[in-house]
Structure 1
Amino acid sequence: MFIKRPSTLATGAAVLLAISGIVIPASVSYAAELVQTPLLPYDLAATAPSAPVVAVQPESPSITPPAAAETAAPAAIASAEAAPPAVPVSADADSVECMAKVVLHEAGNQPRAGKIAVAQTLVNRLKAGRFGGTICQVVNQRGQFFQIASFHPRRDTDGWQDAVEVAHEVLAGQAEPVAPGAMFFRASYAPANNFFRTRQRVTTVGGHIFYR
């Protein structure tokens, strides 16, 4: 027994020495070993930071949607038909004189829009071709207006100056249509006779009702 004991001890010592040969040196830590170990592809995918998600806002349309364009088109066409642009007419001294007399006589107590509407009625008659070839012929047509030859308003009044300005503006085509297409008018306080009952009413401006 005493002879085998040293052999046993020697064997144990050899095992310890063999084990000590595979032990990680104390100078190398576990974290350092992980750093030195290469990552596999799936390890990289799991550890890669995810790209930030950016919300993309839709761009605002710069073209009118078809539905809106189709809706707006009829309104624009109707407006153009209802109020055609004014066209210049000869603004010679006689035309201004004749028109200003009618404006002063018929609408001297009306707002400016009422004066313009009366003046534009004369232009509409001229363009129709059946009331005369000039403004003065339209004004002097029998049974339509008063005798302008016997009407002599004072030329130094504000009323006359306003009438002359309206005449120039309407004859030059610079006034927006007030009663589009109107060729007749009557005082709003008077009842409509059979003639006006058969005409198409356009609008009322001031104390006058205008008809086509």
Structure 2
Amino acid sequence: VLLLALTPAHGFAIDSLPDNSQVCLAKNIYFEAGNQPEAGKVAVAHVVLNRVAHERFPNAICDVVYQTKEYKTSWKTGEQIPRRGMCQFSWYCDGKSDVPLDSVTYDLSYKLAGKIIAGEWADITEGSMWYHATRVYPYWAGTLNETVVINEHVFYK
């Protein structure tokens, strides 16, 4: 059960953010947790906001969502594209299209992103800045403190 926060959790006001912040957060929700109940979506979104608020990460939602360690040149187009496996969020550099295909799920993700940015949902991750799917155990998981398991993700700080 999720509870609405009475005060904004991060102090972000939608009108003070670049127009695409909600889109960036919605795409991350969609691709990382689109198949999960609302709690999973909220948790994934809060990891992005927790990173935005931390000095170690970029201070803008889109910059956090699209953060990558390395780019390569596409042999097809000549464009710079993220190198597979080098992104903070795997969907961005998995080689697949980044265009949401399920309009209903994306619409829900977009609306939820707006509410989360506005501070209408409390952070249920206890300040987590990392997570992974329960079906895997990445090398870095043992170096962090597990905070909570929500749906199909394990969260850490």
1:7 is aligned to none
Please give the TM-score of this superposition, normalised by the length of structure 1.
Answer: 0.56
| CA–CA separation in structure 1 for the residues paired with 2:39 and 2:138 | 25
| CA–CA separation in structure 2 for the residues paired with 1:209 and 1:85 | 24
* Number of aligned residues: 127
2:131 is aligned to 185
How much is the aligned-residue C-alpha RMSD, in angstroms? 2.1
Q: Which of structures 1 and 2 has the bigger CA Rg? A: 1
Does 2:5 correspond to 1:87? no
Does 2:94 correspond to 1:159? no
| CA–CA separation in structure 2 for the residues paired with 1:126 and 1:90 | 14
Which deviations, in whole Å up to 9, do the C-alpha atoms of 1:121-142 show, x marking residues without a partner?
Answer: 0000000022112000011111
**Structure 2 residues without counterparts, runs of 5 or longer:** 1-6, 69-86
User: The residue matched to 2:53 in structure 1 has which SS?
Assistant: helix
| 2:143 alignment partner, one of 195, 198, 205 | 198
Query: % of aligned pairs identical?
Result: 33
How far is 1:177 from its partner? 1.8
The residue identity in structure 2 corresponding to 1:105 is F
How far is 1:90 from its partner? 4.5
Structure with the bigger percentage of strand:
2
How far is 1:120 from its partner? 0.4
| CA–CA separation in structure 1 for the residues paired with 2:115 and 2:124 | 13
Which deviations, in whole Å up to 9, do the C-alpha atoms of 1:98-137 show, x marking residues without a partner?
Answer: 0000000000010001000000000000000221120000
| 1:144 alignment partner, one of 59, 63, 88 | 88
Bigger relative contact order, structure 1 or 2 (CA pairs below 8 A, ≥6 apart): 2
Please give the TM-score of this superposition, normalised by the length of structure 2.
Answer: 0.74
The residue identity in structure 2 corresponding to 1:197 is G
| CA–CA separation in structure 2 for the residues paired with 1:169 and 1:180 | 18
**Structure 1 residues without counterparts, runs of 5 or longer:** 1-83
CA contact (8 A) 1:85 1:177 kept: no
| CA–CA separation in structure 2 for the residues paired with 1:135 and 1:85 | 16
The residue identity in structure 2 corresponding to 1:189 is R
CA contact (8 A) 1:188 1:209 kept: yes
How far is 1:85 from its partner? 6.5
| 2:57 alignment partner, one of 131, 149, 156 | 131
CA contact (8 A) 1:121 1:183 kept: yes
Does 2:25 correspond to 1:116? no
Which deviations, in whole Å up to 9, do the C-alpha atoms of 1:54-95 show, x marking residues without a partner?
Answer: xxxxxxxxxxxxxxxxxxxxxxxxxxxxxx961232534210
CA contact (8 A) 2:40 2:151 kept: yes
